[in-house]
Structure 1
Amino acid sequence: MDGTDGTDDTDGIGGSDGSDGSDGADGSDTLYSIGDLARRTGLTVKAIRFYADTGLVPPTARTTAGYRRYDVHALARLDLVRTLRELGLDLPAIRRVLERQAPLPEVAAAHAEALEVQIRTLRLRRAVLLAVAQRGSTPEEMRLMHKLAKLSDAERRRLVHDFVDEAFGGLDANPEFVAMMRSAMPELPDEPRPEQVEAWVELGELVQDPDFRAAVRKMAEHQAAERADGDRTGLHTELTGTVTSRVRAALAAGVAPASPDAGPVVATLTAAYAEAFGRPDDAALRQWLFDRLGTADDPRAERYWQLMATVNGWPVQESLRDVFEWFTEALRGRLA
């Protein structure tokens, strides 16, 4: 904005009393032109003029020629405005601070929180881009990856909750298993690694896959039917450990599922199932067990837990796919 006589405010450097604008003994009576302020603060004349025109840093006085002049208090005020702007505060917030309508610590805390959200967003975008670069994704895959990755924690949990509700809703399935499904929710960290973003995208796609939902629903119906027949057993962690150790030993020894050497392994495992479920170890048990393994025979179920672990930074459990494939084949050849 020009002076009242039409000349630029940066002209006529010096105090209103004709001084050269240098500091006095204590600096309290020194007045500066806009040009002086620009040199002292590093701001442009245009920016200082804008702050003056908006009332953030009004001039202390004017010369007889209409030039704006600023004292040391205005200089300090301008320094504060510059600092707050560099920290990302908007002009309305700065005005509230300057006019003492809002405490500076309170405003700073609010903007720090907003900045943290921006930082998390940038980190997530970076992880998506790195994942795209590593996967060689198509534009369509990249759009899907970005869409799923930018979901909030609540939206990610809701997506998985909806999947669990559809799969187990209205059924009296194994309560311990259902509780485990509901408690394991994807928690993408603030600074995810590319593989965590990839895992979440794959998990997000998986829980929305109608075919996978139908497969899990079928498993839940099988659990409900067994509970209707009186089964009140839990998650069978110990039983799974027994199967894993016995079958891994058979695999390491090169025992084929259909070979005679597989017979004792199968006998040991069917006896373990009979004890766990309170059933006779007979042909009916082997048929029941074969059907049970077939119901659970979906590699996507194991993949679900592997992806959940990767997203959350948990240890990823080893795959048991080969173990239960061997056990299923060994049972198949020994059905009555």
Structure 2
Amino acid sequence: MDFRHLGRSGLIVSRLSYGNWLTRGGPGGEEAEHACVHAALDAGITTFDTADVYADTRAEESLGRALKGERREGLEILTKVFAPTGPGRNDLGLSRKHIRESIDLSLRRLGMEYVDVYQAHRYDPATPLEETMEALADVVHSGKAHYIGVCEWSPDQLRRGHALARELRVPLISDQVQYSALWRVPETGVTSVCAELGVGQIAWSPLAQGVLTGKYPPGGGPWPAGSRATAVNDGSELLSCWLNDEVLSRVERLRPLAAEAGLPLARLALAWVLHQPQVSTAVLGASRPAQITENAGAAGVRLDDDLVAAVNAVLDPVVTRTAPEPAGPVDPDWRLA
């Protein structure tokens, strides 16, 4: 496993990290989840990403149990706050109340005294940014987190948040973004701001929900049993824009490039993400330990510029560069409805 600093901070993370968004609550239950966590550890992965909302708060509990007995100082644990974790109007968002309560609940579920990076899972238009950043600073100053990060913030939101973090003397070191050879939205502004500010990018869905593994052949299915395309979960809807012949036939055209490089298709796709200079770590999910073991090899792959250019040329007609307008509320008072 290779390692890199997270942005310009002193925190070192494994180039591939393990995330338990969709892996918790699968058909194998907690036993399968724990097997995947231990496969990640065996592969040299030390960075683990979760969130309070995953699996209705059970993902943090499962991850904490899987890591029990491991040397805490040898791990980097990341979790998040924002999404609803209860029925009340204050059980979501980035208010001081929700942040202060959520960090304590997350630590209790994880069975840990602190997390390494506490991330704002999305931007909250209903709360003044100053309130959010002051509450996150309190989390760091109280010793419950070492650093703070954000997820899917716009360039302007990231700039303003980073400036406030500096005023409050807390390190905002990461931005978690959806990023893959098919989803290039961060390149339209976020990546350059991260580079300017010294913020490291944590890439989620680096395999485009499995599309870049080649498991979904063109022709309209049927899709592999047990795959995310057939599951009813939070990940299936992300696949909808890619499960068409135009995209899938382009992915098939990557196979000769991967074969020439001596790589499985999934490793090529992961190595493509890790080739991007602003990406500090890419988050892997898995339903089976073998997937972790196989894909972890991408951390040591070095792609030459010609191969990267060839991948880009094949996929260019089907790459997503502009995110669709958010379906969620934009009214600052949306929680009062």
TM-score, scaled relative to structure 1:
0.22
- The structure with more helix, counted as a fraction of residues: 1
Higher relative contact order (CA 8 A, sep 6+): 2
TM-score, scaled relative to structure 2:
0.22
